[in-house]
Structure 1
Amino acid sequence: MKLKEKIKILMLEDVEDDVTFIENILEKGGIDHSTLQVDSKAEFIKGIKEYQPDVILSDHSLPQFNSIEAHKICLKENLFVPFILVTGAVSEEFAVTCLKLGIDDYILKSNLSRLPSAILTALRQRELEKTKIQTMHELKEQNEQILKINKELDSFIYSISHSLRGPLSTVSGLLNLAELESPENNTNVKELHKMMEACVQRLDTTIRQMVDQCRNARLEIDTNAIDIAELIDKSMNNLSYLSGADAVKVSIMNSAQVPFYSDSYRLEVIINSILSNVIKYRDPQKEQSEVSIQIICTPEHAVINFKDNGLGICKKCMPKIFNMFYRASEKSDGAGLGLYIVKEFVERLKGTVTVTSVENENTSVTIVLPNTTI
């Protein structure tokens, strides 16, 4: 670390011979410096304000003034420079006390040979501390800026979602009314209405997923008691609007031994996303589309396994299934956020998610979440 060429030293000392001796030691030690000597409180205060020293060397005891008082003045004035005690014999207890107060070092006048290296070491240490403080200040400013951007992004997403979902609801309602008004025999109109309604639902789902992801990143964990089976029933009811939802048979095996505590909002999003995929990627060629759900809950964790008999996932697609916007099937009409959101939400709850699949046979999703005590 490069120090400034000439060091300005403020020396609090009332013995001229000691001043001369210290000056000689500094010159022999190769310290390029200028010195301002003071020997009273008033001169010391004036010196730190006007001379603006790089280092302070202070004798301990002067008439009506001492090094402890001088150091306190430096702290009060926020003078961030090394303060080194250069004094006669002192007790070990006094030396320890000085270091605890923040005095950088102490040098005995009977052994001044270490003074030049002590000055350089103290200057380097203060420079490192100054750099650290500056870095911390910059990081704090960056943090505040990031928080500001995140807050603005939150507002933007919620505003956009509100602005988009309102008209979507209106369009959906109008489509239903138009279908009622359409002639019974006009099958083309009915089909067009169904296609438009499906598009509206897909867009609404994507917007909802974006809002969920935003909330997951911002909201703190809210722990409460959860009935997992009840939450699954609620999710199936919420997804009843999806085409084919009524064709999927759901069976639940609940082996919970104890109550489960977690974040109900996040767990509901996880279950919604998984069951939504079960419905969307069911196999119409099979006699019965079904999903079996096993729930195991212990004092340590809950394990929820979803196993369906749908289309499955091809082997080459498996490494990418948790990627944002990745769609593993050509039949997918979503944004590719489902399993990405599942993984993000599960990890936010400090859990794990595992997916296994055999194409054209089945897919198994296992969620493991810690049982968090309130």
Structure 2
Amino acid sequence: MPSVRILQVEDSRPDAELVLSELDADALVYTVQVVDDEAGYLAALREFKPDIVLSDLSLPGFSGRRALELLREHDQELPFIFVSARLGEEAAIEALRNGATDYILKQNIARLASAVRRALREAEAARAHQRAEAELIRAQRFESLAMLAGGLSHDLRNLLQPLLLAGDSLQDYQEDPRLARLGALVRDCGKRGLDMVQSMLSFARGAHRAEQVRIGGLFEALGLLMQGSVPKTVTLHIDAEDPELSFDGNHTELQQCLLNLCLNAIQAMPAGGELHVGAAQINLPASFFRFGEDAQPGRYLCLTVADTGIGMDQEVLRRLYEPFFTTKTTGTGLGLLSCKRIVASHNGVMRVESEPDHGTHFYLYIPLAEHVDASEQDEQDNLQGNGERVLVVVEEAAQLSLLVDTLDAWGYQAHASQSGTAALQWIEAQGVPDVVVVDADMSLFTGVRTLAALIDHGYRDSAILLTRSDTPPDLSGLPALEHIYQIDKPVSARTLLLTLREVLQGH
């Protein structure tokens, strides 16, 4: 558990130290701020931003009940625990009814640490639930947008089509240059309108993963989507070194990624500035890639989104891809994580350079396919899945998401479980999958224990265990499976896909 910010409302120093000594004995890592009046309490809520409040019931000129009332005006979910020497049953019931999380008598202070940990867990679970609900609502809005776009596209096409016809007709009046120019303008406006409708419809609906993406077409669609979003104080430059360059990818996903980065860049330039979007080919050496990145040296397309905005410090850069982390007052913080997943699904990597007051540069490196002979092409074709159900059990959320996205991209039906318990619940609800991929290093329910439990629930086929070469798992007590394939971490997509084919071919 990371360091916990504790706001303690207490006027007795010995009592405050008694409370903190219990937390020390439980090895809870924390920082604390102690206040004993209303002004200090309100200031601490604003500036210290506590994770939990521990409050005595009565203080000179202030009270725990008032502290609870002020907190609930400020935050409905933040945990609040009464720690008092006297708190009768009726007062305790009233406190819980008014929004307190728990109450601890100083005579029974040994219960404090477990109560604090439980309150923090429940608060985090509540926040996660709220974020999930917000994401569900957002997804439903996008689904509604896709349905709306599909319904309107026919009418909009009917409205815009006459502009093309009228433009062509007016251009026939070559003896009148003014009418010819007007015709060209009308036709171009109609064509741009139709292109914009198609781009928005494609963006809302999504697209198939395997397609040829042309840089010129990708940037033209981005320019159309950006129209109306670029303020007059921001100058947008979109340049492609070779607009005719094509590569295997997903036009819609890359368009979504570039659009997200561009909108973020505009918000990072409240006083105006310049936004550059570019594309160029580059050769990357093996030394360019970081530990754990599943990428190979060679020829890459570098997509760049650069702004002259406020920039980011090292703390923000360090947390940039954390789920739900955001520096905005509104938003989910999932945009950059989605971009990283999109780039990873194209077997590419993402880099960012930024300093406060010196702008931000995002670089998206997408591999460009070299010529492959027939045998290599056959091998690649053999990696493609056929809709087989793969249950992936990994505790670390980012790794789990990347593995699932990779398997989905290669034609498998990948299902994510973040714990052994969740995997068992999934099997009980959905039945036995074709293949199970399990991380051996899960903390609460280890990979080996998870496999044993899955076997108890009817799984008998081969399994893939993600392991560390320096600490191989003990498989001695594991019931018999057809075969257990072990893959050393960090896992490369190619190794995982090859192992999956081997497992499935052995069925």
Same structural fold, with TM-score higher than 0.5 when normalized by the shorter chain: no
Structure with higher RCO (Cα < 8 A, 6+ apart): 1
Scaled by the length of structure 1, the TM-score of the pair is 0.40
Scaled by the length of structure 2, the TM-score of the pair is 0.30
Pick the structure with more helix per residue: 1
